[in-house]
Structure formats: C-alpha cells, structure tokens
Amino acid sequence: MELPQRKVAFIVNPHSGGGKTGREWPGIRKRAEEILGPFTADLTAGPGDASRLTRERLLGGADVVVCVGGDGTLNEVLNGFIDDGRPVAENALLGFVPNGTGCDFVRSVPIPRNLEGALDTIARGEIRTIDLGCIRYRDPLNQTRVRCFHNIASFGLGGEVDERANRTTKVFGPFFAFILSTLQSLLLYGKKRICFRLDGGTPMEVTAWNIAVANGRYHGGGMLVAPGASVDDGLFHVTVIGDLSLAEALFHLPKLYSGRITEVKHVSTFTCRRVEAFSDQRVLLDVDGEQPGSLPAVMDILPGALRILAGR
C-alpha cells in the first residue's frame, strides 16, 4: 500500500496523558509529516469529539484515520468508524499513535509505544482485521446507550478504578495512577452480587470483585486479565474474579500483572460470543478505560469489524 497516495486524517486528543499529547503535538506533527506526507489534523475539545470528527473525515473521503491519544481516545475514534454495527467507510483503515495514560491495547497487537515505531507501522501499511465488542448499557442519566469497544469491557471494581484513575495525577506515570486507584478501590469498594448469562445459557449468580469481558488481553495499566484472549478469534474471553476476601484479593493482586490470575481459587474463565449481565446493586462499567455507565448491559462480539494498521 502506498500510504502517501491515500487521504490521511489525524484525530488528536491534546488532553490525553494528562495534557502530554497537547504539549508534544507540534513535534509529533512534524515527524508524522516527514514519514507519512501531508494530512489533515483535528484536535478534540471534549468527550464525543473524536467520534464526530472521525465520522466527518471518513464521510469526507479519508482513507486512513490516525488516532493520537490513549485507549479512551481510540475507543471514541473507532466508534466513528462504526454505525449500527456496520462500517461507515468500507475500506477505511485505522492507525494509532499511543500517547495516553493506559494504552493497554498495544500490548495485545504489535503497535510500538514509541512515536517512530508507531509512525513506521502506519507507513508500512500492513493491514490486520480485528474483532470489536458492542455493548448496550445504562448511562448516568439511566438512558440506554450503545458503543463499540476494542479492548476490554468490565463491570465491578474496574469501573470504580476508572473513576479514581481519571482523577489521579499522572505525574508519576500511568502504572502508578492505576495501581493507586486499584488499591484505593479494593479498600473502599465491596464485592457485588451479579447475575450474568453467556450465549443465552443458564443465568449464573456470583459474588464478585470484577468481571472482565475481553477482546484484548490487558487492561488497567498492564493487568493481564485475559491471557488467552485474541483480538481476531471471534470470541470474548471472560474472567470472573469472584468471592475472594479482601486479604486474598490484595495477596493475589500481583498475579493480575503476571498473567497467573486464572490460577487463583474463586477466579473462573469462559469463552462466548454474548454476555448479558445485571445486578440489583449499582455496578459501574469500565469500557476501554472509560467509565460510561452501569449495569444492566449486553455485550456482543462483532467478528472482523475493523481494519487497523499494525504488525502481526
């Protein structure tokens, strides 16, 4: 693929990484123009802008949309690619320059975290088709919303961690922000009673800290919550962190980073294509590192829904 012959648009979140992207954008733009040639660039001002601007650029004829930011910005951009489960522009490609707080997705697909590597990956033009998740949920105003996700949607502790991490200083880096938020949430939060059903089967009721519905493998700043997940196998990999005591949860926390969490008693794993979940308690959602609402929720896998520029 000759990338310079394509119409390229950048969608940039200057607030990602605690404002780091905005400070670095002039240098990023200069290097991107040297490697990729001319492109248009839109900077977001608030929530929802990235989806709207992406859709406008695609409908205006862009062949490649490059997201600059973190997983939350990437989530918004990919939602600009999809309308009612179908692509807005059939042959459009998504590129990613990771420059945010978490950037867990690039641990599951080979997109370098450094600028030169990410831009070179886009320039090489290697195309990979990945699955997406589609989640229907309740927003804070109790309205039903639908959005896609590329990495992981979880409910329980993950939503609480998101709320705290998004308010925590990033001056010491994303790992510190997420681990501090996780420890605070473990101490202040509580397990929830959750009922869920996989692929229309028998409902299961559990007392759980968190349930992760994974397309990618990592979330929460490097937690390997779904070691067996693949972004292109047409399946969700579900990890249920169940009825551990607080002491057990704290003791086993390092296993979330080593990928050994599935060895822990009261942790269960499943694969499926649909997850339905509800609770009589308030259970917050984490969707690609953002906290958009709460249960009840229904999640469906969309096989091969997005074409991205990544290595293999």
Tell me, what CATH number does 16's domain have? 3.40.50.10330
Q: Are 236 and 272 in contact (CB under 8 A)?
A: yes
Kindly state whether residue 311 falls inside one of the protein's structural domains.
no
Residues 283, 144 within the same domain: yes
- CA 181 to the chain's CA centroid: 18
Residues 52, 173 within the same domain: no
pLDDT tens, residue by residue, 201-233: 999 999 999 999 999 999 988 889 999 999 999
Residues 53, 97 within the same domain: yes
pLDDT band at 286 (very low <50, low <70, confident <90, very high): very high
Statement: residue 238 has pLDDT above 80: yes
Q: What percent of the chain has pLDDT over 70?
A: 90
Kindly state whether residue 187 falls inside one of the protein's structural domains.
yes
Using left for φ > 0, alpha for ψ between -120 and 50, and beta otherwise, residue 139 falls in beta
Kindly state whether residue 309 falls inside one of the protein's structural domains.
no
Residues 165, 215 within the same domain: yes
Q: What percent of the chain has pLDDT over 90?
A: 76
Q: The tokens 């608030």 sit on which residue?
A: 46
Beta strands (DSSP E) in 56-157 are 64-69, 82-83, 86-87, 93-98, 127-138, 144-149, 152-156
According to DSSP H, which parts of the chain are helical? 20-36, 49-59, 71-81, 115-124, 157-165, 174-188, 246-258
**pLDDT higher for 166 or 74?**
74
- CA 200 to the chain's CA centroid: 25
Kindly state whether residue 197 falls inside one of the protein's structural domains.
yes
Question: Residue 67 and residue 11: Cα distance in Å, rounded?
Answer: 5
Q: Which helix (DSSP H) or strand (DSSP E) does residue 267 occupy?
A: strand 267-272
Question: Residue 206 and residue 306: Cα distance in Å, rounded?
Answer: 33
The pLDDT value given to residue 13: 97
Question: Residue 307 and residue 298: Cα distance in Å, rounded?
Answer: 24
Mean pLDDT of 148-157: 94
The DSSP symbol for 262 reads: G
Q: Which of 73, 99, 125 is the last residue of a domain?
A: 125
In 3D space, the residue among 7, 13, 37 whose CA is nearest the CA of residue 25 turns out to be 13
Residues 74, 184 within the same domain: no
Range of the domain at 87: 3-125
**pLDDT higher for 259 or 311?**
259
Q: Which of 125, 160, 189 is the last residue of a domain?
A: 125
Statement: residue 185 has pLDDT above 70: no
In 3D space, the residue among 196, 157, 164, 188 whose CA is nearest the CA of residue 178 turns out to be 164
Domain count, the chain: 2
pLDDT tens, residue by residue, 115-152: 999 999 999 999 999 999 999 999 999 999 999 999 99
Residues 164, 31 within the same domain: no
pLDDT tens, residue by residue, 7-61: 999 999 999 988 999 999 999 999 999 999 999 999 999 999 999 999 999 999 9
Tokens linked to 214:
């994974």
Preceding omega of 110 cis (within 30 degrees of 0): no
Tokens linked to 110:
């080979």
Task: Report the amino acid identity of residue 116.
Answer: E
